[in-house]
C-alpha cells in the first residue's frame, strides 16, 4: 500500500512536467495542510513533501520537480502490520518497532531498553522552512527535524536536534542528519567521488541494486577516499543535459557515513550523518545533540544542471561572504619550488618574479618556523626560524607588499612532531589511548582539539601570528588522519564524543579566528584534498583539491570536483614540467589552461623560468583576470568529459549575465593525424551575436569572427589541436 503510494507520486505527478530552466525560479513556498497533515516545501524547480500518518509517523510523500499549488498530496498511509515500517518511507526512522532498514537514530537507555519509535508532536512553520518536533512513544526523547528550502535552487538543508528530557543519561549510538526517500525503482544509477592521496575526486558510478552502498570516513576527518556527496540518477539514460537527478552533500569534516540502500520492495533511501562506527554520544538530562546539515536537491535537467545548482547554492549560502563572494586572487605558493628550504632570500626572489607576471597573493608554504628543515621536527612550534628569517617575517612581508601583493602563510595547527617543544611540554595533548603506542604518520601526532587547553593555545598562537604580521591568508594544512582515537582526560563513557567534539573545536577555532580577523582568508588543505566538504567550506574561502599538480591528471580531478563543488573554491596551481608526480612533460600554455578552469595559482620555481616563460605567464594571467569571474562564478558546462574515453575534453563557462562565455579544449593524444573534434558550446542565446577571440591556441581556418549563438552552439568551435597534450581556449563576447 505504502509502496504504491510513493510510486503513484513518482509516476503520476511527474508526468505533469513541471520544470523550468535554471534561473527562472519562483519564490519558496511553505505550507501545511491540516486536513491531510502534509507539509510542502517548494523552491526553484523542486518540491519536497512529507506528512504525518494516522499513527503520528512522519513519511516522505514526494520529492521531485515542482508541482502546481492546486495539486493535492494525499496523507501517508498508516502502518498496520509489524515490520511494515520497513516498507514505509520514514522521514527519520528511530531504531525500534521492528525496523530492519537503516535507521536515522539509535539510542541505548540506561535500563537497557533500545526501542525508539518517533511520533509527531508539533511543528513551527518558518518563511523558508519548518521545524517538526517528534517524541518517542513513551519516553521523553525529543527530536526536532529542521528543514530549510532555498527559493532559487530548491536545495534543502536538513538536520536534527536530539534532546534528552528524561531523568537519566542515555547514549546516542547513531545520529543522522536526514534520510532521503526516493520513488521506488530498480533503475537508479549512483554516482559518487572516490580516491586517494594524489588521486582524489574520481567519479565512480554503479547501479543501485538490492542492499547498501556505504560511502564513509572513519578517519576523524573528511578523508581522501570518498567525498560526502552522492548523485542518484533516475536511470542510465540520464545525461549531462537531461533526466532527473537527486543529489546531496553532508556538511561535516569528521568521520561521516552516507548509506544508499535499496530495500526488498525496491525503495531507495539515503541516510547520512555522523559515522556510527565507534560512535557513542551520551546525553545527560537536559542535553542536546545537533547533527550536521545534509543538503539535498533534485533537477530534471541532468548532471550539468545539478552541478550548476550546487555551485550557485554554495556561493550564495555556504562560502563566507555570500551571496557574492569576491573572485579569488591569483596566488603564488612556494611549496613545489623550495619545499622546506625556505629562506628570506629565496622567498624574496620568488616574490619578485611572481609580482612581475601578475600574481596578487604570495604564500610561503611549510618550512618557515622553529627547527623545520624536513617533516621530522618542529611542527607545532609556531615561532619564526631565526636562521632562515633573522629579522622575523616582517622584511619579507614588506617586500611582498611593496611588490603590490598581499601575503599568505602555511600552517598546520592541529599537528605536532614528536620532536617539537610543544609535544615535549604537553605529550598528553595528543589524541591517544593511555599506555598504548601512538602511531605516527609523516612523523606527527594529532592534537586533541576537543581539549579546551588545546583550543586556547591554538587560538593564541594563530591570533598572535596574524596580529603581529600583516597576513591576509592562511593555508591551513592537516597532513594525517587519526589513529588510536582516545581521549583519556574525559570520563570513560564520554570518550567517544571525540568524533564530534574535535570537529566542533576545529570549527570553533576557525570561526573565532575569522571573527577576530574579518579580512583573513583561509584555504582548507589536508595533505591534498583530504578535507573538502560543505562544513569546512562554510569557514574557509577555498580548498586544495589534490597534491597532484600534473595538468592532465588535474583535468580528471577537477572534473570530479566540479560534480559536487563550486569552481570558485577550487585552487589550481601551474607548476613545473616534468611534473613531480608522474614525470609527464607538458607545455606552459597547457598547464595554464588546465589551471585556469578553477581559481588560478602558480607553484613553480619562477627563478628558473626563461624570458619566454615569463612572457607566456604574464599573457595567461592577464587573460585569466579577464575571465575569472565567469570561470569561478559562471555556469559550468562539461561539454566533453575527460572520463568519456575520448582523447579530447572540453569545458565551457558562461557568465551570470550571459555576456561572456569561455570554452577550453584539450587534446590528450593524437593518433593517425585525426583532427580534434569540435566543442559545442551551450547556454548561449541563439538569437544574439557573439564575437570570438582566442585566449590561447588557434581555431581552424574559416572560423567566422562573429556569429549567432545558434551558429556557435550548432556548428561548434573547431580548435586546431595537434600532438599530445595540446590545449586552446576562446572567449565569446555577446554583442550589445
Residues of the shown chain interacting with ligand DGJ in the complex, contacts defined by CB under 6 A: 335, 365-366, 410, 477, 479, 525, 527-528, 544, 547
CA dist 394 and 385 (Å) reads: 13
- CB of residue 335 to ligand DGJ, shortest distance in Å: 4
639 sits in which H/E element: strand 635-640
3-class secondary-structure state, position 390: coil
Q: Which of 216, 52, 75 is nearest to 145 (CA)?
A: 52
| Helices within 634-692 (DSSP H only) | none
Is the CB of 296 or the CB of 408 nearer to ligand DGJ? Answer: 408
Contact of 146 with 131, CB cutoff 8 Å: yes
CB of 595: closest distance to ligand DGJ in angstroms? 14
198 or 732: whose CB is closer to ligand DGJ? 198
User: What's the closest the beta carbon of residue 541 comes to ligand DGJ, in angstroms?
Assistant: 16
Cβ burial, residue 17 (10 Å; 0-12/13-18/19+): exposed
Q: Name every residue whose Cβ is closer than 8 Å to that of residue 345 and which is 6 or more positions away in sequence.
A: none
Shortest Å distance, C-beta 588 to ligand DGJ: 21
What minimum distance in Å lies between the beta carbon of 260 and ligand DGJ? 30
Residue 595, helix vs strand vs coil: helix
CA 263 remoteness from chain centre:
28
Which residue is closest to ligand DGJ by CB? Answer: 366
User: How far, in whole angstroms, is CA 34 from its chain's centroid?
Assistant: 38
What's the closest the beta carbon of residue 479 comes to ligand DGJ, in angstroms? Answer: 5
Helix (H, G, I), strand (E, B) or coil at 68: coil
Q: Which is nearer to ligand DGJ, 136 or 365 (CB)?
A: 365
Residue number with CB closer to ligand DGJ (76 or 527)? 527
Distance of alpha carbon 586 from the chain centroid: 29
Least separation in angstroms between CB 57 and ligand DGJ:
47
Active-site residue flag, 406: no
Q: How far is CA 364 from the centre of its chain?
A: 25
Residue 268 or 363: the one with the smaller Cβ distance to ligand DGJ is 363
Q: Which of 520, 553, 523 is nearest to 537 (CA)?
A: 523
Closer of 73 and 522 to ligand DGJ (Cβ): 522
Backbone angles phi, psi at 621, to 5 degrees: -70, -40
Residue 244 or 521: which CB sits closer to ligand DGJ? 521
Shortest Å distance, C-beta 618 to ligand DGJ: 25
Any residues with CB less than 8 A from the CB of 29 and at least 6 apart, and which?
40, 41, 42, 43, 69
* Tally of CB atoms within 10 A around 452: 9
Q: Which of 381, 547, 550, 559 is catalytic?
A: 547
Residue nearer to ligand DGJ on the CB measure, 297 or 528: 528
Q: Are strands 170-182 and 105-108 parallel, antiparallel or unpaired?
A: antiparallel
Nearer to ligand DGJ, 89 or 528 (CB): 528
SS3 labels along 119-164 = EEEEEEEECCEEEEEEEECCCCEEEEEEEEECCCCCCEEEEEEEEE
Among 558, 566, 510, 504, smallest CA distance to 534 is for: 566
Radius of gyration of the chain from its Cα atoms, rounded to whole angstroms: 27
The residues near 41 (Cβ < 8 Å, ≥ 6 apart) are: 28, 29, 30, 47, 48, 49, 129, 130, 147, 149, 156
As a whole number of angstroms, the distance between CA 674 and CA 35 comes to: 66
Which is catalytic among the residues 87, 477, 550, 559?
477
477 catalytic? Reply is yes
Of 151, 297, 293, the residue nearest 232 (C-alpha)? 297
For the bound state, the minimum distance from the C-beta of residue 466 to ligand DGJ, rounded and expressed in Å, comes to 18
3-state SS, 167-232, equals: CCCEEEEEEEEEEEEECCCCCCEEEEEECCCCCCCEEEEEECCCEEEEEEECCCCCCCCECCEEEE
**Which pairing describes strands 521-524 and 281-283: parallel, antiparallel, or unpaired?**
unpaired
Q: Give helix 551-564 / helix 588-595 axis angle, nearest 10°.
A: 10
Measured from the CB atom, is 267 or 594 closer to ligand DGJ?
A: 594
617 and 283 Cβ atoms separated by less than 8 Å: no
Question: Quick one: 220 or 601, whose CB is closer to ligand DGJ?
Answer: 601
The candidate with the shortest Cα–Cα distance to 341, out of 360, 366, 316, is 366
Nearer to ligand DGJ, 370 or 641 (CB): 370
Q: Which active-site residues does the annotation give? A: 477, 547
Amino acid at each position: 500500500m505504502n509502496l504504491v503510494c510513493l510510486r503513484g507520486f513518482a509516476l503520476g505527478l511527474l508526468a505533469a512536467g513541471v520544470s523550468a530552466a535554471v534561473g527562472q525560479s519562483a519564490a519558496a513556498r511553505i505550507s501545511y495542510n491540516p486536513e491531510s497533515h502534509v507539509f510542502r516545501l517548494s523552491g526553484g524547480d523542486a518540491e519536497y513533501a512529507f506528512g504525518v500518518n494516522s499513527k503520528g509517523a512522519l513519511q516522505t510523500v514526494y520529492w521531485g520537480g515542482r508541482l502546481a499549488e492546486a495539486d493535492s498530496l494525499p496523507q501517508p498511509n498508516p502502518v498496520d502490520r509489524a515490520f511494515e515500517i520497513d516498507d514505509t518511507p520514514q522521514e527519520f526512522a528511530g531504531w525500534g518497532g521492528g525496523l530492519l532498514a537503516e535507521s536515522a537514530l539509535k539510542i541505548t537507555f540506561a535500563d537497557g531498553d533500545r526501542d525508539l519509535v518517533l511520533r509527531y508532536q508539533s511543528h513551527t512553520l518558518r518563511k523558508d522552512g519548518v521545524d517538526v518536533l517528534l517524541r518517542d512513544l513513551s519516553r521523553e526523547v525529543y527530536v526536532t527535524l529542521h528543514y530549510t528550502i532555498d527559493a532559487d535552487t530548491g536545495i534543502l538543508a536538513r538536520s536534527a536536534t536530539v534532546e534528552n528530557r528524561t531523568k537519566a543519561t542515555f547514549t546516542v549510538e547513531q545520529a543522522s542528519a536526514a534520510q532521503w526517500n526516493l520513488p521506488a525503482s530498480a533503475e537508479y544509477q549512483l554516482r559518487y567521488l572516490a580516491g586517494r592521496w594524489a588521486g582524489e575526486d574520481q567519479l565512480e558510478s554503479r547501479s543501485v541494486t538490492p542492499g547498501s552502498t556505504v560511502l564513509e570516513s572513519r578517519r576523524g576527518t573528511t578523508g581522501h577516499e570518498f567525498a560526502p556527496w552522492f548523485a542518484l540518477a533516475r536511470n542510465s539514460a540520464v545525461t549531462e543535459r537531461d533526466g532527473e537527478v537527486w543529489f546531496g552533500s553532508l556538511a561535516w569534516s569528521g568521520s561521516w557515513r552516507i548509506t544508499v540502500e535499496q530495500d526488498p520492495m525496491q525503495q531507495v533511501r539515503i541516510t547520512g550523518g555522523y559515522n556510527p562506527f565507534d560512535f557513542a554520544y551520551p546525553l545527560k538530562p537536559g542535553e542536546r545533540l545537533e547533527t550536521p546539515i545534509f543538503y539535498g536537491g533534485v533537477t530534471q535537467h541532468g548532471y550539468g544542471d545539478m552541478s550548476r545548482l550546487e555551485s550557485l547554492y554554495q556561493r550564495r549560502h555556504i562560502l563566507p561572504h555570500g551571496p557574492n563572494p569576491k573572485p579569488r586572487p591569483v596566488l603564488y605558493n612556494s611549496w613545489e619550488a623550495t619545499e622546506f628550504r625556505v629562506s628570506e632570500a629565496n622567498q624574496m626572489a620568488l616574490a619578485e618574479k611572481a609580482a612581475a607576471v601578475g600574481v596578487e597573493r604570495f604564500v610561503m608554504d611549510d618550512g618557515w618556523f622553529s627547527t623545520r628543515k624536513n617533516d621530522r621536527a618542529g611542527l607545532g612550534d609556531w615561532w619564526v626560524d631565526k636562521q632562515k628569517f633573522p629579522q622575523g617575517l616582517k622584511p619579507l612581508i614588506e617586500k611582498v607588499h611593496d611588490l603590490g601583493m598581499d601575503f599568505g602563510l602555511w600552517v598546520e595547527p592541529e599537528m605536532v612532531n614528536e620532536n617539537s617543544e610543544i609535544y615535549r611540554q604537553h605529550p598528553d595533548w595528543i589524541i591517544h589511548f593511555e599506555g598504548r603506542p601512538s602511531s605516527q604518520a609523516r612523523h606527527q601526532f594529532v592534537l586533541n582539539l576537543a581539549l579546551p587547553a588545546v583550543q586556547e593555545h591554538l587560538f593564541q598562537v594563530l591570533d598572535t601570528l596574524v596580529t603581529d604580521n600583516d597576513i591576509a591568508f592562511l593555508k591551513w594544512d592537516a597532513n594525517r588522519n587519526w589513529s588510536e582515537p582516545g581521549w583519556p582526560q574525559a570520563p570513560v563513557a564520554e570518550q567517544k564524543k571525540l568524533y564530534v567534539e574535535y570537529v566542533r573545536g576545529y570549527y570553533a577555532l576557525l570561526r573565532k579566528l575569522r571573527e577576530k580577523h574579518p579580512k583573513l582568508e583561509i584555504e582548507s588543505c589536508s595533505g591534498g584534498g583530504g578535507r573538502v566538504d560543505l562544513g569546512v567550506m562554510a569557514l574557509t574561502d577555498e580548498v586544495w583539491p589534490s597534491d597532484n599538480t600534473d595538468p592532465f591528471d588535474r583535468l580528471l580531478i577537477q572534473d570530479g570536483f566540479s560534480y559536487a563543488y563550486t569552481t570558485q573554491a577550487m585552487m589550481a596551481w601551474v607548476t613545473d614540467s616534468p611534473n613531480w608526480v608522474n614525470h609527464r612533460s607538458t607545455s606552459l600554455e597547457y598547464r595554464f589552461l588546465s589551471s585556469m578552469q578553477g581559481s588560478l595559482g602558480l607553484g613553480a620555481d619562477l627563478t628558473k623560468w626563461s624570458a619566454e616563460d615569463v612572457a607566456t605567464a604574464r599573457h595567461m594571467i592577464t587573460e585569466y583576470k579577464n575571465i575569472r569571474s565567469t570561470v569561478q562564478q559562471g555556469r559550468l558546462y562539461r561539454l566533453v568529459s575527460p572520463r568519456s574515453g575520448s582523447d579530447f575534453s572540453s569545458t565551457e563557462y558562461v557568465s551570470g549575465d550571459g555576456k561572456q562565455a569561455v570554452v577550453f579544449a584539450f587534446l590528450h593524444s593524437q593518433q593517425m593525424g585525426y583532427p580534434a573534434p569540435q566543442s559545442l558550446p551551450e547556454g548561449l542565446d541563439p538569437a544574439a551575436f557573439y564575437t570570438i577571440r582566442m585566449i590561447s591556441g588557434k581555431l581552424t581556418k574559416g572560423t567566422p569572427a562573429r556569429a549567432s549563438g545558434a551558429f556557435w552552439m550548432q556548428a561548434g568551435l573547431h580548435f586546431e589541436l595537434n600532438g599530445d597534450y595540446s590545449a586552446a581556449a576562446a572567449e565569446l563576447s555577446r554583442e550589445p
